[in-house]
Amino acid sequence: GREWHLVSRPNGWPVPEDFALREAPVPAPGEGRVLVRNLHFSVDPYMRGRMNDVKSYVPPFQLDQPMEGGAVGEVIASNAEGIEVGDHVLHGLGWREYAEVEAGHAVKVDGSAAPLTAYLGVLGMTGLTAYAGLLETASFKEGDAVFVSGAAGAVGSQVGQIARLKGASRVIGSAGSDEKVKRLVEEYGFDAAFNYKNGPVAEQLKAAAPDGIDVYFDNVGGEHLEAAISVLNVHGRVTVCGMIAQYNATEPTPAPRNLALVIGKRLRLQGMMVRDHAALQPRFVEEVSGWLRSGELKYDETVVEGMENGVDAFLGLLRGENTGKMIVSLAR
């Protein structure tokens, strides 16, 4: 089977030459393990961090080894109790056609309850990030005005809609194209949205939030965070979820110049890691499934077909070519 290896560590923006698609033998599953034919795998912004050789919350990808990440596939051989051939499982060994997975690291998923891709997005890691980051980390409460950046992406589109469904007084989003901005308002029910490429974020945010905001869900950092600090109301809260604007930076990026406003406004800036919120998983799945069934929550996926296009999908994600969750599909 084919698998994507990291062959050199990117400096700044990754380039196709940093990766290689290589052939590897397909092993029989060891004791307590299963062999999975991957059907879909996830490409995510955090993977950019794993390409650097630095200590972080996840170890770096090893050179000349397959990269890792969320994937769903079909079990084609099992040497473990409780998982049968034909079962569909979610696991952490993406970026390859065949994965030999420890049974304890594979979670069975039901393809008849939801499309298998949903377990990588709206009902998966990015969905839980949105749910936990808004409801727990930001202590969202009814009546809050919420601003989310990266609002047409997997996490952001779900943050805005959950805020609306939970009774936000106003939901504002920013994204990188006029088409995405239109989708935020017309499909996802945001009250206001703007294209951050059309002018200074601070000015556009002020116009979109005349009464200020109570919660800022940060996926972007930089100019967005500074603008949000300016318009946050007293006792406002910030979920620091991601800072994608600086993932490819080669120099340290400037901090918000207005950070002293945190004092007088008694702001709370709180980082989050989705893996700390596993206890919320059952409630998250139940509530989001309900909204999906009733049609109150919508989601998009940008599906790139073909193993050979995996790296292009990842590079496209960093450039904003996705609406909703970016997925690489090997199903055909």
Degrees to nearest 5, angle at CA 284 with 279 and 290: 155
Closer to ligand NDP by CB, 33 or 164: give it: 164
- How far, in Å, CA of 177 to CA of 151, rounded? 11
Which of 219, 225, 216, 226 has the alpha carbon at shortest distance from 247? 219
- Of residues 103 and 122, the one with the C-beta less far from ligand NDP: 122
End-to-end CA distance of the chain: 15
How far is 69 from 5, CA to CA, in rounded Å? 12
33 or 237: CB nearest ligand NDP: 237
Distance, CA of 155 to CA of 159 (rounded, Å): 6
User: What b/e string do you get for 289-315 counting C-beta neighbours within 10 Å, with b at 16 or more?
Assistant: bebbeeeebbbbbbbbeebeebbbbbb
Cβ proximity to ligand NDP, 34 vs 192, nearer residue? 192
Instruction: Return the structure tokens found at 96.
Output: 């390859």
DSSP-assigned letter for residue 84: -
Angle at CA of residue 196, ends 201 and 166, nearest 5°? 85
- Shortest Cβ 321–ligand NDP spacing (Å): 7
Q: What is the DSSP string of 225-279?
A: HHHHHHHEEEEEEEEE---GGGTT-SSPPPPPTTTTHHHHTT-EEEE--GGGGGG
For the bound state, the minimum distance from the C-beta of residue 153 to ligand NDP, rounded and expressed in Å, comes to 2
Binding site for ligand NDP (CB under 6 A): 44-46, 126, 129, 150, 152-156, 175-177, 180, 219-220, 241-242, 244-245, 272-274, 317-318, 320, 322, 326
Give the shortest CB-268-to-ligand NDP separation in angstroms.
16
Report in angstroms how near the CB of residue 227 gets to ligand NDP at its nearest. Answer: 12
Cα angle 102-107-113, degrees, rounded to a multiple of 5: 155
- Closest approach, Cβ 149 to ligand NDP, in A, equals 6
Among residues 29 and 310, whose Cβ is nearest to ligand NDP?
A: 310
Enumerate the β-bridge partners of residue 109: 88
Minimum CB separation of residue 45 from ligand NDP in Å reads 4
Residue type at position 62? Q
Q: Least distance (Å) from ligand NDP to the CB of residue 19?
A: 19
Of residues 171 and 175, the one with the C-beta less far from ligand NDP: 175
* Between 98 and 188, CB nearer to ligand NDP: 188
- Minimum distance from CB of 82 to ligand NDP (Å)? 28
Identity of the residue, 36 or 243, whose beta carbon is nearer to ligand NDP in the bound complex = 243
